Chain A
Amino acid sequence: MRQDGPVLEMRGITKTFPGVTALSEVNLTVRPGEIHAVCGENGAGKSTLMKVLSGVHPHGSYQGRISFRGEQVGFKDVRASEQCGIVIIHQELALVPFLSIAENIFLGNEQRAGRGFVDWGATMRQAAGLLRRVGLRENPQTPVADLGVGKQQLVEIAKALSKEVELLILDEPTAALNDEDSATLLALIRELREQGIASIVISHKLAEIRRIADSVTILRDGRTIETLPVRAHPDDAPELSEDRIIRGMVGRDLDHRFPERTRYGGEHSTALEVSGWTVRHPVDQQRKVVDDVSLTVRRGEIVGLAGLMGAGRTELAMSVFGRSYGRYESGTVRIDGREVRTRTVPAAIGAGLAYVTEDRKQYGLNLIDTINRNISLASLSGLARHGVVDEHRESSVAERYRTSMNIKAPTVHEQVGRLSGGNQQKVVLGKWIHADPEVLILDEPTRGIDVGAKYEIYTVIDELAAQGKAVLFISSELPELLGMCDRVYTMAEGRLTAEVARADATQEVLMRHMTRNRS
């Protein structure tokens, strides 16, 4: 291992999107041949930083300096960074399922025999060599679709090797893998280090970081918090504890403001009871995305559900709500003590459930339609007589929500696609409040919206609880959960790992339960 200057040095990286500062003066230094982990909560800026590095966000769209192998660089696109030897492997694999392993490896980088023709001999030969290097025993002509996710990940690495990679970036490489495949992959990353290839690994799994990383950089709210050595020498045991990493990840002040909770006066009976809920991945049947989860929410209560990316929170919520995700395996839902059928979305709505999605543009709104028509969609029958919608009543209902939730739009006939994120979120909330459910599952209701709108949404949630509704509040922002919830459940890898009362809940405690590994 060479001990000269760093292979990569990022200095003072600042990246802003309209209305948000994603990265602010971030520094990252990777020494030659080291495995460098990057940690942080969801939205801390890890992915954005890697996109800056790999040229997804081109040179000029950010401030700061990047030097690679001592030379100042600025990539205009991903191709440019790859030519330099920096290859990023995204969480969602970028393979074409119906092409063969060999074709995928050399996609966009074809082995040519003369002008514009593929040299199949060379392609197969080299692909076979690369597969040996990553330890994958498969025929290069096998279609990628026939491989499991673990093997596909190895194909991605083989593809990176074909580009003569010097710095490999892996974004959550083991998030979709089972334990065995994870172990293989981690071993491979260490083996590549022996060959002098440095890696940046983004991961939520702290045990994993301790197992392979040489040092770790912690990001929080788009800033570099600290860089810590994990071990003194590559073959030593790790010296850094998980608790120390957690402290760096969450050490944020509770500087958000939350409305004073208004308490529900009625009887706090259990409104929602989910028991033994298990769901398998829609494609990969081996994986239990939600594994034997049981939880309860009482009337007038706001219950948090914390977990990192891939913990299975959204999958649990969508599966309970009309089995809208994955393959249902087992479990029951009771509302007010009565077992209800939630086989379809209309049935779930009829049973008194509402699910406010985390992805309002994809799953929450018809962006090309108006505010009033979006708000009424889940409760149209209630606004109709003999199947005919009373348009004027619909408009006045929407008008009521526009005023009460302070939706900033000239009229309720404004197209939803033209509203800001916060106002769109209010429209989605209005839709589900008007459906008058007993239980509301709110999935990241404040994602990507500004502080002022957040406060308004907190107020709405608080009012719902005060009316005696049961609220299950899914969020990646721990201060938000601590500020709003009566209890918090934590999930990791599809399982419920803890139930923490408000009095006992701190960011450190929650994060510890959220990063708990199965092994």
Chain B
Amino acid sequence: MTTTTDPTDAPPAAQGAARSAASLLLENVRGHMRQYGMLTALVFIIVLFQIWTDGTLLLPNNVSNLIQQNGYILILAMGMMIVIIAGHIDLSVGSLVAFVGAMAAVMMVEHGMPWVPALILSLLIGAVAGAWQGFFIAYVGIPSFIVTLAGMLLFRGLTQIVLGGQSLSPFPTGFQNLAKGFIPEMGPYTQYHNPTLVIGLVAVVLLLLRERRDRRRQLRYELEVLPTTLWVAKCVALVAAVLAFTLTLASFHGVPVVMLVMCALLIGLGYVMRNAVVGRHVYALGGNKAAAKLSGVKDQRVTFLVFVNMGVLAALAGCVYAARLNSGTPQAGLNFELEAIAASFIGGASMSGGVGTVVGAVIGGLVLGVLNNGMSLVGIGTDYQQVIKGLVLLAAVGFDVWNKRRAGR
């Protein structure tokens, strides 16, 4: 989205002069302060720990590790972001992660079910759990805080009942690959992981095509666009970032499976929230429920769907986490809901709803993830880690509040 003005059709009131590229850029940044702010913070944290750990942080194997360590939180954060945009909260996801992991373990370990149908059934269980909570929130009208607080107890209890207090393992290899696997290597030996290079190149091409298509469409509809120089700079920066990341992954085992899953979700959910009618309705409901209802938004159905979606994502996260531990355990997913909520708020959500993006949730989750990983690498204990993460959450939201007040809204 551009918030810039093309100098050629600026009104005469705009002093008639073309504004400099710098001021255009500044204006664009100011429009997305929170997201750019957090992106900047993420880059800063990465650079900080890169130096502090003498370059260990961005070693190829640690980058892979980082992704696999945080995959399930990022998946939860994306769903949580949508819930928060809709003006709700979900406290039950940590318990649901445990419950679905336990059910997956029962199906595969106890009953020897093959992993593909077990995975599908697990996601279905998540959908049903989400529908259960969504029903009470959307149609009965109980506040989501209460319903999901009940769900938090309920699913944790069910987990213990299903597992009888024991852990179940091991999972089939195929299922474990969900969390630990990489895309298989193909082709001749090249020092790099070939399919990863291909994927990286495809991503670059798709990105450039999309940028060009958007720009053309904007021009066709006579909307304002970034000046050509800035646009080219933006494209070059995007390409450089994607290529650097690709090379890093390709010099280890390649693209982790969980990253592929996450990217698919990020693109899919991001697209739905931005472009699909139902996504728009979520923003409208969170922004002003009364106005949305009077505009014909089916508020109950949209709310219901938001919670079904959260249920499915929590189930997916549950499977990934169980696969990573290689067991279904009663204590799985403890406090995950808090991590996901923190990631959403760091990533730009607003307590009152209506604001935030799926990408923001991922950025927020990565800030927390890199902090975790970096602090562990330099040997800061988990006690101090918690203190620091708490302060970061406070600072991120505090910065947002301060920034809004300064803007005089």
Which of A97-105, A139-147, A331-339, A388-396 makes up part of the contact surface? A388-396
Shortest CB distance A415–B (Å): 8
Contacting residue for B294 out of A363, A369, A388, A410, CB 8 A: A363
Contact call A377/B295, Cβ cutoff below 8 A: yes
A384's nearest neighbour on chain B, judged by CB, is B277
Q: Please state if A362 and B291 are interface contacts (CB–CB under 8 Å).
A: yes
Shortest Cβ distance from residue B279 to the other chain A in the assembled complex, whole angstroms: 8
B222 adjacent to A345 (CB under 8 Å) = no
Q: Which residue of A lies closest to B14 (CB)?
A: A410
Q: Give 1 or 0 for each of A390-404: 1 = CB within 8 Å of chain B CB.
A: 011101100100000
| B372 CB, min distance to chain A CBs, angstroms | 32
Residue from B223, B292, B355 whose CB has the most chain A CB atoms within 10 Å: B223
B284 to chain A, nearest CB (A): 5
For A345, list chain B residues within 8 Å (CB).
293-296
Which chain B residues border A380 with CB–CB below 8 Å? 277, 280-281
**Contact code string B75-101 (vs A, CB < 8 Å = 1, else 0):** 000000000000000000000000000
Q: Is A84 an interface residue (CB 8 A)?
A: no
Residues of B within 8 A of A392 (CB): 217-218, 220-221, 223
Interchain CB contact (< 8 A) of B292 among A377, A413, A417: A377
Residues A324 and B294 in contact, CB atoms below 8 Å apart: yes
Q: Decide yes or no: A377 and B280 within 8 Å by CB, A324-B294, A345-B294, A368-B354 being known contacts.
A: yes
B99 to chain A, nearest CB (A): 31
State the CA gap A345–B293 with chains docked (Å).
Answer: 7
**Known contacts A369-B283, A380-B281: A410-B291 contact under CB 8 Å:** no
Chain B contacts of A417 at CB under 8 A? 409
Over the window 345-359 of chain A, the binary record of Cβ atoms lying under 8 Å from chain B Cβ atoms (1 yes, 0 no) is 110010000010100
Q: Are B284 and A369 interface neighbours, CB within 8 A?
A: yes
When distances are taken between beta carbons in the complex, the residues of chain A under 8 Å from B288 are: 362, 365-367
Q: Chain B contacts of A384 at CB under 8 A? A: 276-277
Q: Do B3 and A411 touch across chains, with their CB atoms under 8 A apart?
A: yes
| Nearest CB of A to B190, in Å | 39
Given contacts A362-B290, A364-B291, whether A369 and B221 have CB atoms under 8 Å apart is no
- The yes or no answer to B37 lying at the interface (CB within 8 A) is no
Q: Is the CB of B295 within 8 A of A431?
A: yes
| Contact among B2, B5, B223, B274 with A396 in the assembled complex (CB-CB below 8 Å) | B223
Most chain A CB inside 10 Å of its own CB: which residue of B223, B287, B294, B297:
B294
- Range of interface residues on B (Cβ < 8 Å): 35 or more
Is A387 an interface position by the 8 A CB rule? yes
B169 nearest CB across to chain A (Å): 42
Sort chain A's interface into a size bin.
35 or more
Residues of B within 8 A of A362 (CB): 288, 290-291
A83 at the interface (CB under 8 A from B): no
Closest-CB distance, A373 to chain B (whole angstroms): 7
Complex CA–CA separation, A291 to B274 (angstroms): 44
Q: Which residue of A lies closest to B221 (CB)?
A: A396
A395 surroundings in chain B (CB, below 8 A): 218, 221, 223
Mask, A317-332, CB within 8 Å of B = 1, is 0000110100000000
Task: Say yes or no: B287 contacts A366, CB within 8 Å.
Answer: yes
* Residues in A neighbouring B280, C-beta threshold 8 A: 373, 376-377, 380, 389
| Shortest CB distance A396–B (Å) | 4
Q: Which residue in B3, B276, B283, B296 is a CB contact (below 8 Å) of A378?
A: B296
Chain B residues 260 to 287 lying within 8 A of chain A, measured CB to CB, are: 271, 274-278, 280-281, 283-284, 287
Which residues of B lie under 8 Å from residue A195 when comparing CB positions?
none
Query: How many angstroms between the C-alpha atoms of A399 and B275 in the bound complex?
Result: 18
Residues of chain B lying within 8 A (CB to CB) of residue A324: 293-294
Q: Which of A349, A366, A387, A413 contacts B296 (CB 8 A)?
A: A349
- Name the B residues within 8 Å of A364 (CB-CB): 291, 294
CA distance A45 to B288 in the complex (A): 30
Complex CA–CA separation, A366 to B169 (angstroms) = 50
Give Cα distance in the complex from A391 to B275, angstroms: 7
20 A–B contacts from the bound complex (CB under 8 Å): A321-B294, A322-B294, A349-B296, A355-B294, A362-B288, A362-B290, A366-B284, A366-B292, A369-B283, A369-B284, A384-B277, A387-B277, A388-B271, A391-B275, A392-B218, A393-B221, A399-B221, A399-B222, A410-B5, A411-B3
Counting from the closest, the 5 A-B pairs by CB-CB distance are: A366-B287, A396-B221, A378-B295, A392-B217, A366-B288
- Which residues of A pack against B, CB within 8 Å? 321-322, 324, 345-346, 349, 355, 357, 362-369, 373, 376-378, 380-381, 384, 387-389, 391-393, 395-396, 399, 410-411, 413, 417-418, 431
Given contacts A366-B283, A366-B292, A396-B223, 8 further A-B contacts (CB under 8 A): A321-B294, A322-B294, A364-B294, A367-B288, A380-B280, A384-B277, A388-B276, A411-B3
